[in-house]
Structure 1
Amino acid sequence: MGDIKYKIVVVGAPAVGKTSLVRKYTKGEFHKEYISTLGAQFSRFEETIENDKIDLILWDIAGQEAWEVMRKKFYIGSSGGIVVFSHAPGEQETISEMQKWTEELKSNCGDIPIMLFGNKIDLVDNNEIAMNSTLEGSDANIEQLIKKHGFTAYYKTSALTGERVKDAFQSLVHTIYNRSK
């Protein structure tokens, strides 16, 4: 088979770590300073599955409301999507905003695989989110959201430490690849 290109859009509220996740996956880097994405940021990365070279174009899309009108154009031609929220203390509202991002992706992209990434997992106690169902970001509450919105998969990630970042992106790439066979 020849070269394959997949466009993957990464969306979510501002400052949840979308850019950091993409940078960690594509370059293995993490930068602590926060710089707001203007419109969209593009990254390329190459994966190989079953001897097929896959050229990934990752669109890191700005989460600020000012970009809402432009975002619809950014979704055109997407093969897969990632919705990112933050597990960090004080950023739990990004979980409730996740519904908006999911609906926006589905209405603009149709039936593409969409994965959910709960980022900044390094800032919370994994046992607490596993056991404490009163937390909005608890495993039980996230499991309900996964079922409700039909996410292909859910990954707890850390752009800082790299935890599950590569696995999460590769899982989406494999899902897209297998769907296109």
Structure 2
Amino acid sequence: MGKTSLLHRYIHNEFKEDMKMTIGCQFHNQQLERQNKHISMVMWDLGGQERFRFIQPQYVKGAAGAFVLFDLSDHSTFECVETEWLPLIRENASPTIPIVLVGTKVDIVKEETFQAMQSEAQALVEKCNLSAFTTVSSKWNVNVSETILYMVDFLIWQSYQSEQASGSTENVA
């Protein structure tokens, strides 16, 4: 699907053709400065194999944000978004968690398939109240950093909104 390739491209700024499939779960730490804030991210790469589903809820609990990826060239991976990945997140994470739907492998998908998948994905974003939909190519480095940084900026904004709400409540009391 491209989860490991996306993280590898973001962290190491390189693409490996022979990227191995994630078994179970891997995590990556990343530090960055954004909007004058020091951000420490821990990004979890959950393998999609059925035999590891029993451990996935533990990794979703406490997540601040989630990316749900699907392969634009393989419709069956898109079907799993609504039947498997979104329920996993909705049942185990905060109800306010931002979820970004990400179509991967834009470099190999045919134009007509791309257009159809884009329409389906946008409809799913609206139906399931997701935060956003975007497409990426880890191979060509298209929209990789922008996608990760969108989530970072969204979480900074969400934190600011929360601070404002709690601050205004304290001022009223």
Assess same fold via TM > 0.5: yes
Would you say 1:96 and 2:75 are equivalent positions? no
Higher helix share: 2
Task: Looking at secondary structure, tell me which structure has more strand per residue.
Answer: 1
The CA deviation string for residues 125-155 of structure 1, in whole angstroms up to 9 with x for no partner, is 346533xxxx4x2x22221111111111111
TM-score, with structure 1 as normaliser: 0.83
- Of 103, 123, 128, the match for 1:149: 128
Q: Which runs of 4+ in 1 moved over 2 A?
A: 125-130
Percent identity between the aligned chains?
A: 26
Counterpart AA for 2:22? T
Q: Deviations over 1:44-102 (max 9, x none)?
A: 112222211101110001110111111111112210000000012xx210011111201
Cα distance in 2, alignment partners of residues 98 and 127 from structure 1:
21
Q: Which protein shows a greater Rg?
A: 2
Q: Helix, strand or coil: the match of 1:123?
A: coil
Query: Residue in 1 aligned with 2:68?
Result: 83
Between the aligned partners of 1:22 and 1:71, the Cα distance in structure 2 is: 18
Output aligned runs, 1:108-123, within 5 Å.
108-110=92-94, 111-123=96-108
The higher relative CO (CA closer than 8 Å, separation ≥ 6) is in 1
The 5 Å alignment of 1:21-170 reads: 21-88=6-73, 91-99=74-82, 100-110=84-94, 111-126=96-111, 129-130=114-115, 135=116, 137=117, 139-170=118-149
Aligned amino acid, residue 180 of structure 1? S
Number of residue-to-residue matches in the alignment: 158
* Gap regions ≥5 residues in structure 1: 1-15
TM-score for the superposition, normalised by structure 2: 0.86
**Structure 1: how far apart are the matches of 2:113 and 2:56?**
35
| RMSD between aligned residues | 1.3
Alignment partners' CA distance in 2, 1:29 and 1:167: 16
* Alpha-carbon distance in 2 for matches of 1:71, 1:58: 14
Equivalents in 2 of 1:57, 1:65: separation in Å?
Answer: 24
Deviations 1:23-62 (A, max 9, x none): 1111111111142212111111122222111011100011
